[in-house]
Each structure stands twice: as C-alpha cells, then as structure tokens.
A and B are shown apart, each in its own frame.
Chain A
Amino acid sequence: MNRLFNLALLLGIGAAVIASFIYLGIDLGELGSTGNLNQMGAYAQRFLSPDLSPTHLQAIAHGALETIAMSALGTLIAAVFGLLLALPAAGRFGWPLQSASRLVLNALRAVPELVWAALMVLAAGLGPNAGTLALALHTTGVLGRLFAEALENTPPEPADAIRLQGGNAVWAFCYGTLPNLLPQLLAYILYRWENNIRMASVLGFVGAGGLGQMLYVSLSLFQEAQASTVILAMLILVFAVDTLSSWSRQRWVKA
C-alpha cells in the first residue's frame, strides 16, 4: 500500500514537470543548437570589453559615491527612528504604545525596499532622495524590531540600581542599559548598512539614483560595454563594503 502511494507520488511529480514544460513552451533542445550557442557567446563577448574611458569612469565614481551616500544616510536615519520606535516596542511605555509601535514596525518591514522606492519616486521625484527615503523606511522597520529584541534581552538590574540611587529614568537607561546594549546595536547597524549598499545599487532600477540607475540606462540602450563597467563597479563596491564592515565589527564589537 505504502509502495503504491510512493509510486503514484513519483508519477505525479513527473507529470507535473512535463506539464510545466508544455505550459511554458520551453524548448531545451533549442539551447544546445549551434546558432544559439554562437549568439550567447557573442552576447557574453560584448560584456567582456568594459568601457574604461575616463569620462565613463568618472560618471561611475559619481554614481558609486551616490550609492554609498544613499545607503549611509538611509541607515543612519533608520537607526535613529528605529531606536525611538524600539523603546515603546520593547514595552517601556505600557502595552497600548507597545502594540501600536510594533504594528508600525511590522508595516514598515513588510513592504520591500523596491516597493518603497517605487512609491518614493512618485512622492519625492527621481533621484537619490527617493532612494534614501526608501532605504530609511524599510530599515527603520528592521532595525526597530532588532533593537526592541535586544532591549528586551538586556538585564534590567544595572538600570534598577541607578533608579535606586535616585537617578531618573533617562540616566538609568544611559548608564545602566546602554553600555550593555551599544555593541549589539552597532553590530545590527553595520550589518544593515552592508545590506543597504547592495540594495542601493539595485534601487536605481525604479529611478531612485545611484549605480543602479546607470546600469538600467545602459542596459536599456544596449550599451553592453558601459553596463559591464557598472557591474564591475558594483562588485568592487560590495566587496569593499563587506571587508570594511567585517573589519569594523571585529574592531568595535568584539564578539
């Protein structure tokens, strides 16, 4: 009985695979024919000669700078607002504010950066403004939630001790909670910044500035040489940021 069921399941999966090919009209045989292989070779060939002219490199440097600035500013804004929302979300000001701020954080986080960017392009116009806002909005949701969790996991005793010496709640937070919390916050911020640089280089596809916008424009005009330079620049940028970020985490956070 069991074997029969397994056999039926196997046949079902096979039928589903064949049906998918028929429905989508994909012809794998086509992929191996000589004419198509030549075409693929030629397409890849055009990408293998990147445009390294000074004017284009200058434009790319400008775009890369814009991408870095967008991600850094977006992350910074998100860190500030994330912390402001994390305090009520960790239940510091009673449950009504806790539920409300959690709802806001979840809503911000549920909408992806690209959708925020598309919305912001409509609101703030084309360019890096929209990209920065989009990154800030999504990252506020992510960082706010991570910060709130970190706040809930921080031992309350040091802050309680300062309250017991007559210090007010703000100083209890600054002197009792923050020293434990700060490395964790820093680690989260650096991690999100790293993510955001990668994201910022794509956001240009919906018109939100940076390297992505250059790539989109070159690809739309079939300028493969220029596009390949942009892709190279993206790779270098992301690699550099990964290195910088892991170095700074080792330096300041010391896990």
Chain B
Amino acid sequence: MTLHLTQISLTHANGVQALRGVDLHIGAREQVAIIGPSGAGKSSLLNLLATALRPGDGELQVLGERAWQLSAGQRQRLRARIGLIHQSPPLPPRQRVVTAVLAGKLGQWGLGKSLLNLLYPLDIPGARAALARLDLSDKLFTQCQQLSGGQLQRVGIARVLYQAPEVLLADEPVSAMDPVLAKHTLSVLCSHAREHNVTLVASLHAVELALAHFSRIIGLRDGQILFDLPASAVDRELLDTLYANEQLERSPPPPAHLSVQIPRC
C-alpha cells in the first residue's frame, strides 16, 4: 500500500472541517482521480497526502511510513519521495524557468550541488527534457513572471517530473489550460506514471477528463468519500448526486503580485 488513510479528520485553523473520517487505500502504480464540488476537500486531501497538513485525527501512512510519527529529518527524506503539483505553482516571479525546474531535486541533492546550482544551472539537459514533454523547452531561460497561467502550471508539472517522486499528487493540474492542452498534459502525466511505476493521484474539476484518463474515480463531497469506483461504473446519476446544488464556482485567488519599493530621497 502506497497511501493508507485510516479515519482521517482534518480541521483548518479557521475552524472549517475539511475532512471527516476518511478511509482510503491506494496501492502502488494506481492512477486515481478525485472529483467533487468546490470546497469538498479535494485540495485538503492532497495536501494531507503530501504531508503539508497534519491530520487532526486518524492515521496517515505514505510509502509504508507513518508520516507524522517520524522525526523532522526523516519526514523531509520522505517528502523528497513525494511530489505535489500545486494548482497555482508557487514559483518566484523573477526566477528563471530552468532554476525553478531544477529546484525539484533539492531534497535529493547534497550541499555542494545545491549551492553550485544557485550560481549556474547544473543540469540544463535534464530540465530541458522535462519541459520538452510539456512543449515548453523554448522557455528554458525565461523568467517565471513572463509566463501565462497555463504555462506556469506546466512549469510546475515539469518541476515535479524532474523531481521523479514515487508518489505523484496533482491538485487541479490543468485548471488554467485550454481543453486540448489539458488533455495532452494529463496524458503526459499518466504515461510518466506508467513508465516509472509511480502512484498518481490527481484532483480535477473536469469530470470528462477524469473519466477519460483515470481508471479509478473517487467522489468527494463535504469532506467525505461519496463513492470510490472504477471509471466504467461512474454514471450520470452518481455525478448528479455528487454535484447537487453546487454553488457558483469560486475563482482561484489572483497570484501574489510582487512590487519593489525603491526609496527616493
């Protein structure tokens, strides 16, 4: 078992209960899509699997280790084996794409390599190869702030592909892309997972994409698992229950804008 959740509950600092008593088992090399209305807890669940959030209750096992019973150093070593694709990748606006991608391996590199890479990108071919799979190899030396939202998402994906983790978690990885690109990007993710024996868990708000690319679908609503079925068994009726009374989708928060104050006297 790669991911093993037993009776997990999670309450955010603002008092919102994001997950209630979730039981979930995902085996090695499985490809799972999580769908559900906004605010159902999809992001919370993925952040929890990535050990970014600590569950209030229950037990989380990732890659056979109890993540929150490890020492801080052991947990960092575990985290180097987990890759999380963020919905809006938190990349420094002035960082070059090549550095942002190479930063994926910081958890695995030693002191000297990390330091040298800060001065000069050490593995340009590696970064180029990761970007080439997503049709972005021409943007290798561009600054992140010059990219569009969809391009930035692909840089975030390239970084995780370069990290080469054993568990790949993706939080709405294609939300800012057009349908054709979204389809292509998802198939890149799935084939990468197949080729490298990686467990893939992705949350998606486009149901058709989830059904087309993933074999196992988990429906999440109000912090609880509504259904956990193979893609072929998911029908219209189930989806209607899942998305019943969905409020208008909240737009994602705008990316943080960086401003430089230059003192004048």
Contact = CB atoms under 8 A, between A and B. Distances in A.
A175 B103 contact: yes
Given A155-B256, A158-B91, A180-B92, A166 B261 contact: no
Contact of A180 (B77, B80, B93, B108): B93
B13 to A, nearest CB: 15
Contacts, number: 96
A115 interface: no
Interface stretch (A59-67, A80-88, A184-192): A184-192
A219 interface: no
Nearest to B165: A165
B263 A188 contact: yes
B83 interface: yes
Contacts of B258: 155, 180
Given A195-B265, A253-B260, A165 B90 contact: no
A20 to B, nearest CB: 31
A156 to B, nearest CB: 9
A40 interface: no
Nearest to A185: B260
A249 B261 CA distance: 11
Nearest to B89: A161
Q: Which of B84, B95, B108 has the most CB of A within 10 A?
A: B95
Contact of B114 (A165, A171, A177, A179): A171
Interface in B75-116: 76-84, 86, 89-95, 99, 103-104, 106-108, 114
Contacts of B107: 165-167
A166 B260 CA distance: 30
Contacts of A167: 76, 80, 103, 106-107, 114
B177 to A, nearest CB: 20
Contacts of A179: 92-95, 99
B50 interface: yes
B80 A166 contact: yes
A91 interface: no
Contacts of B93: 179-180
A50 to B, nearest CB: 28
B233 interface: no
Q: Is chain B's binding surface mostly helix, strand, loop or mixed? A: loop
A194 B264 CA distance: 10
A165 B92 contact: no
B262 A187 contact: yes
B166 to A, nearest CB: 12
B103 A166 contact: no
A26 interface: no
A183 interface: yes
A23 to B, nearest CB: 35
Nearest to B118: A174
Contacts of A158: 90-92, 95
Interface string A140-171: 00000000000000010110111111111001
A164 B256 contact: no
Nearest to B94: A179
Interface in B200-234: none
B106 A160 contact: no
Nearest to A198: B265
Nearest to B51: A164
Given A155-B90, A175-B118, A184-B260, A164 B79 contact: yes
Interface of B: 50-52, 76-84, 86, 89-95, 99, 103-104, 106-108, 114, 118, 163, 256, 258, 260-263, 265
15 contacts: A160-B90, A161-B84, A163-B76, A163-B79, A164-B51, A165-B103, A166-B79, A166-B106, A176-B90, A177-B92, A180-B93, A187-B262, A191-B262, A191-B265, A254-B260
